[in-house]
Amino acid sequence: MELRETLISQIKGKNLKIVFPEATDERILGAALRLHHEDILQPILLGKPDEVQAEAKSHGYDLTDISIIDPNSYDKYDEMVAAFVERRKGKATEEQARKQLRDVNYFGTMLVYLDLADGLVSGAIHSTGDTVRPALQIIKTRPGVSRTSGAFIMLRGRGQEKYVFADCAINPNPDAQVLAEIAVESARTAKMFGIEPKVAMLSFSSKGSASAPEVEKVAEATRIAKELAPEFDIDGELQFDAAFVKSVAQQKAPDSTVAGEATVFIFPELQSGNIGYKIAQRFGNFEAVGPVLQGLNKPVSDLSRGCIEEDVYKTAIITANQAIMNN
Protein backbone atom coordinates (compact mmCIF):
# COMPACT_ATOMS: atom_id res chain seq x y z
CA MET A 1 0.00 0.00 0.00
CA GLU A 2 1.18 3.49 -0.70
CA LEU A 3 2.16 5.48 2.37
CA ARG A 4 -0.76 7.83 1.97
CA GLU A 5 -3.33 5.01 1.97
CA THR A 6 -1.69 3.40 4.99
CA LEU A 7 -1.82 6.67 6.94
CA ILE A 8 -5.45 7.22 5.97
CA SER A 9 -6.48 3.66 6.86
CA GLN A 10 -5.00 4.10 10.35
CA ILE A 11 -7.30 7.02 11.19
CA LYS A 12 -10.37 6.63 8.95
CA GLY A 13 -13.67 6.47 10.79
CA LYS A 14 -12.03 7.16 14.18
CA ASN A 15 -13.56 10.64 14.40
CA LEU A 16 -10.29 12.29 15.36
CA LYS A 17 -10.74 16.05 15.74
CA ILE A 18 -8.21 18.39 14.15
CA VAL A 19 -8.38 22.15 14.75
CA PHE A 20 -7.80 24.53 11.84
CA PRO A 21 -7.31 28.06 13.25
CA GLU A 22 -7.05 29.66 9.78
CA ALA A 23 -10.58 28.88 8.61
CA THR A 24 -11.01 31.89 6.36
CA ASP A 25 -8.25 30.61 4.08
CA GLU A 26 -9.49 28.87 0.95
CA ARG A 27 -6.77 26.14 1.10
CA ILE A 28 -7.71 25.29 4.68
CA LEU A 29 -11.43 25.22 3.93
CA GLY A 30 -10.98 23.04 0.86
CA ALA A 31 -8.81 20.51 2.71
CA ALA A 32 -11.04 20.46 5.80
CA LEU A 33 -14.10 19.78 3.69
CA ARG A 34 -12.41 16.91 1.82
CA LEU A 35 -11.22 15.33 5.08
CA HIS A 36 -14.74 15.58 6.47
CA HIS A 37 -16.47 14.20 3.37
CA GLU A 38 -14.03 11.31 3.08
CA ASP A 39 -14.69 10.46 6.77
CA ILE A 40 -10.96 10.75 7.51
CA LEU A 41 -11.35 13.16 10.43
CA GLN A 42 -13.57 15.79 11.99
CA PRO A 43 -12.35 19.31 11.34
CA ILE A 44 -12.92 22.08 13.90
CA LEU A 45 -12.76 25.48 12.22
CA LEU A 46 -11.92 28.61 14.20
CA GLY A 47 -13.19 32.08 13.35
CA LYS A 48 -16.29 34.21 13.18
CA PRO A 49 -18.98 31.89 11.77
CA ASP A 50 -20.41 34.53 9.37
CA GLU A 51 -16.93 35.25 7.95
CA VAL A 52 -16.07 31.56 7.60
CA GLN A 53 -19.46 30.82 6.00
CA ALA A 54 -19.07 33.76 3.60
CA GLU A 55 -15.63 32.54 2.53
CA ALA A 56 -16.97 29.00 2.09
CA LYS A 57 -19.92 30.24 0.06
CA SER A 58 -17.67 32.22 -2.27
CA HIS A 59 -15.98 28.92 -3.23
CA GLY A 60 -19.20 26.93 -3.37
CA TYR A 61 -18.37 24.95 -0.21
CA ASP A 62 -21.12 23.66 2.07
CA LEU A 63 -20.03 23.52 5.73
CA THR A 64 -23.11 21.71 7.06
CA ASP A 65 -22.09 19.37 9.94
CA ILE A 66 -18.67 21.01 10.33
CA SER A 67 -18.05 22.62 13.70
CA ILE A 68 -17.04 26.29 13.73
CA ILE A 69 -15.93 27.87 17.01
CA ASP A 70 -15.53 31.61 17.54
CA PRO A 71 -12.98 32.35 20.29
CA ASN A 72 -14.77 35.67 20.88
CA SER A 73 -18.03 34.02 21.92
CA TYR A 74 -16.85 30.68 23.30
CA ASP A 75 -19.13 29.66 26.17
CA LYS A 76 -16.33 28.03 28.21
CA TYR A 77 -13.91 30.93 27.80
CA ASP A 78 -13.56 31.55 31.57
CA GLU A 79 -12.62 27.93 32.18
CA MET A 80 -10.11 28.06 29.35
CA VAL A 81 -8.57 31.26 30.73
CA ALA A 82 -8.22 29.66 34.17
CA ALA A 83 -6.60 26.53 32.67
CA PHE A 84 -4.17 28.69 30.68
CA VAL A 85 -3.14 30.74 33.75
CA GLU A 86 -2.63 27.52 35.69
CA ARG A 87 -0.55 25.96 32.89
CA ARG A 88 1.64 29.06 32.46
CA LYS A 89 2.50 28.98 36.19
CA GLY A 90 3.04 32.67 36.92
CA LYS A 91 4.05 33.56 33.34
CA ALA A 92 0.61 34.98 32.40
CA THR A 93 -1.91 36.97 34.45
CA GLU A 94 -5.64 36.42 33.99
CA GLU A 95 -5.83 39.67 32.03
CA GLN A 96 -3.00 38.61 29.70
CA ALA A 97 -4.61 35.19 29.26
CA ARG A 98 -7.97 36.73 28.29
CA LYS A 99 -6.24 38.75 25.59
CA GLN A 100 -3.88 36.03 24.39
CA LEU A 101 -6.61 33.42 23.98
CA ARG A 102 -8.40 35.61 21.43
CA ASP A 103 -5.52 34.64 19.15
CA VAL A 104 -6.71 31.66 17.13
CA ASN A 105 -3.44 29.74 17.49
CA TYR A 106 -3.44 30.09 21.29
CA PHE A 107 -7.15 29.25 21.44
CA GLY A 108 -6.79 26.23 19.15
CA THR A 109 -3.77 24.97 21.05
CA MET A 110 -5.78 25.18 24.29
CA LEU A 111 -8.54 23.05 22.71
CA VAL A 112 -5.90 20.41 22.06
CA TYR A 113 -4.39 20.77 25.53
CA LEU A 114 -7.85 20.41 27.11
CA ASP A 115 -8.49 17.22 25.09
CA LEU A 116 -11.31 18.87 23.14
CA ALA A 117 -9.33 18.19 19.98
CA ASP A 118 -6.64 15.67 18.99
CA GLY A 119 -4.29 17.97 17.07
CA LEU A 120 -3.88 21.31 15.32
CA VAL A 121 -2.81 22.37 11.82
CA SER A 122 -1.89 26.01 11.21
CA GLY A 123 0.75 28.14 9.51
CA ALA A 124 -0.84 28.81 6.09
CA ILE A 125 -1.00 32.48 7.03
CA HIS A 126 1.03 32.55 10.28
CA SER A 127 4.81 32.35 10.72
CA THR A 128 6.48 29.24 12.20
CA GLY A 129 7.07 31.11 15.46
CA ASP A 130 3.42 32.20 15.83
CA THR A 131 2.19 28.70 15.02
CA VAL A 132 4.62 26.73 17.17
CA ARG A 133 5.14 29.03 20.20
CA PRO A 134 1.68 28.34 21.78
CA ALA A 135 2.40 24.61 21.56
CA LEU A 136 5.81 25.00 23.18
CA GLN A 137 4.28 27.04 26.00
CA ILE A 138 1.06 25.07 26.56
CA ILE A 139 1.31 21.53 25.24
CA LYS A 140 5.04 21.21 25.93
CA THR A 141 7.36 18.33 25.24
CA ARG A 142 6.92 14.74 26.38
CA PRO A 143 8.83 13.54 29.47
CA GLY A 144 12.44 12.87 28.49
CA VAL A 145 12.32 15.27 25.53
CA SER A 146 13.65 18.74 26.30
CA ARG A 147 13.16 20.31 22.84
CA THR A 148 10.72 19.72 20.05
CA SER A 149 12.21 19.34 16.57
CA GLY A 150 11.07 19.19 12.96
CA ALA A 151 11.56 16.17 10.69
CA PHE A 152 10.92 15.85 6.97
CA ILE A 153 9.88 12.59 5.34
CA MET A 154 11.74 12.48 2.03
CA LEU A 155 9.96 10.46 -0.66
CA ARG A 156 10.94 9.57 -4.22
CA GLY A 157 9.54 7.22 -6.86
CA ARG A 158 5.97 6.76 -5.60
CA GLY A 159 7.26 6.35 -2.07
CA GLN A 160 9.69 3.54 -2.86
CA GLU A 161 12.56 5.56 -1.40
CA LYS A 162 11.66 6.84 2.08
CA TYR A 163 13.99 8.62 4.47
CA VAL A 164 13.73 10.90 7.50
CA PHE A 165 15.79 14.10 7.77
CA ALA A 166 15.94 16.08 11.06
CA ASP A 167 16.11 18.65 12.58
CA CYS A 168 15.33 20.82 9.59
CA ALA A 169 12.95 23.31 11.22
CA ILE A 170 13.32 24.30 14.86
CA ASN A 171 16.58 24.24 16.86
CA PRO A 172 19.29 26.51 15.45
CA ASN A 173 22.11 25.05 17.55
CA PRO A 174 21.31 21.87 19.52
CA ASP A 175 23.82 20.64 22.10
CA ALA A 176 24.79 16.95 22.30
CA GLN A 177 21.87 16.05 24.62
CA VAL A 178 19.27 17.75 22.39
CA LEU A 179 20.84 16.23 19.27
CA ALA A 180 20.56 12.79 20.88
CA GLU A 181 16.89 13.37 21.69
CA ILE A 182 16.28 14.50 18.11
CA ALA A 183 17.80 11.22 16.90
CA VAL A 184 15.54 9.12 19.12
CA GLU A 185 12.39 11.08 18.25
CA SER A 186 13.26 10.82 14.55
CA ALA A 187 13.59 7.04 14.85
CA ARG A 188 10.07 6.99 16.31
CA THR A 189 8.80 9.22 13.51
CA ALA A 190 10.38 6.85 10.97
CA LYS A 191 8.47 3.91 12.45
CA MET A 192 5.23 5.85 12.18
CA PHE A 193 5.86 6.18 8.45
CA GLY A 194 6.71 2.50 8.03
CA ILE A 195 10.45 3.17 7.72
CA GLU A 196 12.80 0.78 9.56
CA PRO A 197 15.00 3.26 11.44
CA LYS A 198 18.76 3.07 10.95
CA VAL A 199 19.91 6.36 12.35
CA ALA A 200 23.04 8.13 11.09
CA MET A 201 24.43 11.03 13.14
CA LEU A 202 25.88 13.18 10.38
CA SER A 203 29.12 15.14 10.46
CA PHE A 204 32.03 16.08 8.20
CA SER A 205 33.95 13.24 9.89
CA SER A 206 33.48 9.46 9.93
CA LYS A 207 34.43 7.59 13.11
CA GLY A 208 37.17 9.97 14.18
CA SER A 209 38.60 10.76 10.73
CA ALA A 210 38.62 14.45 11.70
CA SER A 211 38.77 16.11 15.09
CA ALA A 212 37.01 19.33 16.01
CA PRO A 213 34.54 20.44 18.72
CA GLU A 214 31.70 20.10 16.17
CA VAL A 215 32.67 16.47 15.52
CA GLU A 216 33.02 15.73 19.23
CA LYS A 217 29.48 17.07 19.76
CA VAL A 218 28.07 14.57 17.24
CA ALA A 219 30.12 11.69 18.71
CA GLU A 220 28.88 12.58 22.18
CA ALA A 221 25.28 12.84 20.92
CA THR A 222 25.67 9.35 19.42
CA ARG A 223 26.76 7.94 22.78
CA ILE A 224 23.82 9.60 24.57
CA ALA A 225 21.30 8.50 21.93
CA LYS A 226 22.43 4.87 22.18
CA GLU A 227 21.96 5.04 25.95
CA LEU A 228 18.57 6.73 25.67
CA ALA A 229 17.20 4.22 23.18
CA PRO A 230 19.20 0.98 22.97
CA GLU A 231 16.30 -0.50 20.99
CA PHE A 232 17.22 1.61 17.97
CA ASP A 233 20.17 1.16 15.61
CA ILE A 234 21.98 4.52 15.92
CA ASP A 235 25.55 5.21 14.81
CA GLY A 236 27.94 8.08 14.19
CA GLU A 237 29.63 10.24 13.62
CA LEU A 238 29.32 9.59 9.89
CA GLN A 239 29.74 11.61 6.74
CA PHE A 240 26.74 11.50 4.43
CA ASP A 241 28.47 9.27 1.87
CA ALA A 242 29.54 6.81 4.58
CA ALA A 243 25.99 6.77 5.91
CA PHE A 244 24.36 6.26 2.52
CA VAL A 245 26.72 4.52 0.08
CA LYS A 246 27.62 0.88 0.83
CA SER A 247 31.04 0.92 -0.85
CA VAL A 248 32.08 4.08 1.00
CA ALA A 249 30.74 2.64 4.26
CA GLN A 250 32.96 -0.43 3.82
CA GLN A 251 35.99 1.81 3.64
CA LYS A 252 35.12 4.43 6.21
CA ALA A 253 33.06 2.54 8.81
CA PRO A 254 33.31 -1.20 8.11
CA ASP A 255 32.04 -2.24 11.55
CA SER A 256 28.95 -0.05 11.55
CA THR A 257 25.50 -1.61 11.21
CA VAL A 258 24.10 1.74 10.09
CA ALA A 259 26.71 2.98 7.60
CA GLY A 260 25.69 2.35 4.01
CA GLU A 261 22.14 1.53 5.09
CA ALA A 262 20.96 4.63 6.94
CA THR A 263 17.32 5.62 6.62
CA VAL A 264 17.22 8.40 9.23
CA PHE A 265 19.68 11.27 8.82
CA ILE A 266 20.35 13.55 11.80
CA PHE A 267 22.02 16.83 10.92
CA PRO A 268 24.36 18.47 13.45
CA GLU A 269 22.47 21.79 13.50
CA LEU A 270 19.64 23.61 11.80
CA GLN A 271 21.59 25.28 9.00
CA SER A 272 22.87 21.99 7.57
CA GLY A 273 19.48 20.31 8.15
CA ASN A 274 17.49 22.99 6.42
CA ILE A 275 19.96 23.27 3.54
CA GLY A 276 20.26 19.48 3.29
CA TYR A 277 16.58 18.70 2.85
CA LYS A 278 16.21 21.47 0.28
CA ILE A 279 19.13 20.12 -1.76
CA ALA A 280 17.57 16.65 -1.78
CA GLN A 281 14.23 18.20 -2.73
CA ARG A 282 15.51 20.47 -5.51
CA PHE A 283 18.49 18.52 -6.92
CA GLY A 284 17.30 15.05 -6.07
CA ASN A 285 13.60 15.44 -6.86
CA PHE A 286 12.53 14.14 -3.49
CA GLU A 287 9.12 15.13 -2.19
CA ALA A 288 9.62 16.67 1.26
CA VAL A 289 6.68 16.00 3.59
CA GLY A 290 6.72 18.04 6.78
CA PRO A 291 8.00 19.46 8.97
CA VAL A 292 6.57 16.83 11.29
CA LEU A 293 6.96 18.33 14.77
CA GLN A 294 8.32 15.66 17.09
CA GLY A 295 8.41 15.29 20.85
CA LEU A 296 5.29 17.28 21.83
CA ASN A 297 2.73 15.79 24.21
CA LYS A 298 0.09 16.27 21.52
CA PRO A 299 0.55 17.01 17.83
CA VAL A 300 0.66 20.48 16.31
CA SER A 301 1.74 20.97 12.70
CA ASP A 302 3.19 24.02 11.00
CA LEU A 303 2.31 24.53 7.34
CA SER A 304 4.44 26.55 4.97
CA ARG A 305 2.83 29.83 3.92
CA GLY A 306 3.36 28.74 0.32
CA CYS A 307 1.33 25.56 0.89
CA ILE A 308 -1.42 24.31 -1.40
CA GLU A 309 -4.67 22.60 -0.40
CA GLU A 310 -3.08 19.16 -0.91
CA ASP A 311 -0.34 20.02 1.64
CA VAL A 312 -2.98 20.96 4.21
CA TYR A 313 -4.82 17.69 3.52
CA LYS A 314 -1.63 15.59 3.92
CA THR A 315 -0.45 17.49 6.98
CA ALA A 316 -3.78 16.96 8.75
CA ILE A 317 -3.57 13.21 8.03
CA ILE A 318 -0.05 13.07 9.48
CA THR A 319 -1.14 15.10 12.52
CA ALA A 320 -4.02 12.72 13.21
CA ASN A 321 -1.62 9.76 12.88
CA GLN A 322 0.69 11.36 15.43
CA ALA A 323 -2.31 11.74 17.74
CA ILE A 324 -3.03 8.00 17.74
CA MET A 325 0.67 7.21 18.09
CA ASN A 326 0.94 9.41 21.18
CA ASN A 327 -1.86 7.52 22.91
What whole-number distance in Å separates Cα of residue 148 and Cα of residue 185? 9
Among 104, 105, 34, smallest CA distance to 317 is for 34
Nearer to ligand COA, 239 or 319 (CB): 319
Q: Shortest distance, CB of residue 106 to ligand COA, whole angstroms? A: 13
Which residue(s) pair with 2 in the sheet? none
Which amino acid type is present at position 114?
A: L
What whole-number distance in Å separates Cα of residue 238 and Cα of residue 253? 8
What whole-number distance in Å separates Cα of residue 258 and Cα of residue 233? 7
Question: Who's near 294: CB < 8 A, 6+ residues apart?
Answer: 145, 148, 149, 150, 151, 166, 182, 185, 186, 188, 189
Nearer to ligand COA, 10 or 304 (CB): 304
Q: Shortest distance, CB of residue 142 to ligand COA, whole angstroms? A: 10
Q: Shortest distance, CB of residue 274 to ligand COA, whole angstroms? A: 6
Nearer to ligand COA, 147 or 252 (CB): 147
Nearer to ligand COA, 55 or 181 (CB): 181
CB atoms near residue 97 (< 10 Å): 21
Give the CB-side neighbour count of residue 295, counting CA atoms within 13 A: 28
Q: Shortest distance, CB of residue 296 to ligand COA, whole angstroms? A: 8
Which residue(s) pair with 152 in the sheet? 165
Nearer to ligand COA, 40 or 139 (CB): 139
Question: Who's near 224: CB < 8 A, 6+ residues apart?
Answer: 176, 177, 180
Three-state SS at 160: coil
Q: Shortest distance, CB of residue 136 to ligand COA, whole angstroms? A: 3
Question: Who's near 54: CB < 8 A, 6+ residues apart?
Answer: none
- Which residue number places its CB atom closest to ligand COA? 136
Nearer to ligand COA, 91 or 99 (CB): 91
Nearer to ligand COA, 44 or 101 (CB): 101
Q: Shortest distance, CB of residue 141 to ligand COA, whole angstroms? A: 5
Q: Which residues bind ligand COA (CB under 6 A)?
A: 91, 128-129, 132-133, 136-137, 141, 147-148, 169-171, 274
Q: Shortest distance, CB of residue 96 to ligand COA, whole angstroms? A: 12
